[in-house]
Amino acid sequence: MEKTRISPKQLFALIMLFEFGTALVVPIGLAGRQDVWLSILLALIGGIGLFLAYDYLFRQYPDLPLSGYARQIVGKPVGWLLSLLYVPFFIYLAARDLRDAGDLLATSVFHRTPLFVISALMIVAVVYVLHKGIEVFARTGEIYLMVLIGLGVLGNIFVLFSGLIDLKNLHPLLAKGWRPVIKDAYPNIFMFPFGEMICFTTMLPSLNKRRSGRKTGVIALICSAVILSMTHAVEIAVLGSDMYGRAAFPLLTTISKVNIGDFLQRMDVIVILTLIIGNFFKIAVFCYAALIVACDLFKVNEQQKLVLPVGIVVLLTSMMIAGGWSQHIEEGRLTIKFLLPLFSVVIPALLLAVHLIRKRFGVYRPNMPADDKS
């Protein structure tokens, strides 16, 4: 297995980029409409709680990924089977994000380019960076987080100076009470994007200062949630709640309205770059998680051997995942309702409960990690 390390700063960058992913450009939560920005902040509370549970298990088994401590907690046969389910789960989520990026690029920019070609080019980049190792991947994340923040600042300046923002579109606040807002937050936004953080259980063992993982993760989640909340609030302020709900990519629709002095127009490239960067890192993190679990279960010492096969499976799955955009969106709703809760909440909660019971009766003594300063 790979013995390389990443720093807390690099983990912060990867979590931020992962949380942005497709969540910046697609509508998340529709029941609350103009209050979706508030739903994001409410869902953050559950997201932090979920990450703290993942971090607790990591601290008890500091050298093991999810698949490793699952076998330790519930026994090798059951733990192995449970862990095996996470390989297709991570691959499926990576394929969904690859399809999101491919569809947006195919419909907005590369009209005559086949979807397969667009997706293949992106997966080639993912395979390349993962073949170089987690350290290279993490350092790349540090750089591109700054690029993504710069694009976000630039885009918001253009929207502001175009005079597109109408704060009346955000009113009335809580028009139908708290029920729609909470319904948006749980389980919808709680699962997407916060529930997808389960994949970082495979990356935490690579952290060089392991005790800082909790603080780093929580701060990254708070920062990403605040930026997501502000971004979707701006989208609703520009488009209105009805158009926001109907648009497949509301951020692209928002930025396409920019017109400063009939000179600065067609700023769509900002959204395209945002999606490519965010989606690239999200797909890569999911693929890395699938790699780690597969290598751990099948005792593969060199992860590079499985990078290409995983990339090919992700590419083919993304092409077969749905016949069209509407079917893809409908499958996404089912994923949020059933698949993500099972793998992100139910199974980790089961592992946590069994671990605490064993700890209570003295079956297991936790091994607290010491920071590795090297």
Tens-digit pLDDT profile for residues 320-356: 998 888 888 889 889 999 999 999 999 999 999 999 9
> What is the total count of domains within the chain?
1
Cα separation values, 32 from 129, 151, 160, 195, Å: 39, 28, 24, 20
Q: The tokens of 216 are what?
A: 């780093």
Q: The tokens of 226 are what?
A: 């605040």
Q: Which residues of the chain register pLDDT less than 50? A: 1-2, 368-374
Q: Please report the pLDDT score of residue 324 as a whole number.
A: 81
Instruction: Confirm whether 143 is domain-assigned.
Output: yes
Candidates 100, 151, 98, 84; CA nearest to 284 is 98
Secondary structure of residue 119 in the 3-state scheme? helix
Residues 101 and 83: their CA atoms lie apart, in Å, by 28
Instruction: Give the distance, in angstroms, between the CA of residue 136 and the centroid of all CA atoms in the same chain.
Output: 19
Structural Rg of the chain based on CA atoms:
21
Instruction: Confirm whether 371 is domain-assigned.
Output: no
Instruction: Confirm whether 368 is domain-assigned.
Output: no
Residues 6+ apart with CB under 8 A from 317: 91, 92, 95
Helix 36-60 and helix 213-239, axial crossing angle in degrees, nearest 10: 160
Residues 25 and 277: their CA atoms lie apart, in Å, by 12
Instruction: Confirm whether 1 is domain-assigned.
Output: no
Q: What are phi and psi of 81, to 5 degrees?
A: -65, -45
Q: Please report the pLDDT score of residue 214 as a whole number.
A: 95
CATH number at residue 166: 1.10.4160.10
Q: The tokens of 71 are what?
A: 């076998």
Secondary structure of residue 308 in the 3-state scheme? helix
Q: What are phi and psi of 29, to 5 degrees?
A: 75, 130
Residues 360 and 358: their CA atoms lie apart, in Å, by 5
Structural domain boundaries, residue 34: 8-360
pLDDT in tens, 217-243: 999 999 999 999 999 999 999 999 888
Task: Tell me the torsion sign for CA atoms 219, 344, 329, 311.
Answer: positive
Residues 70 and 75: their CA atoms lie apart, in Å, by 8
pTM above 0.75, yes or no: yes
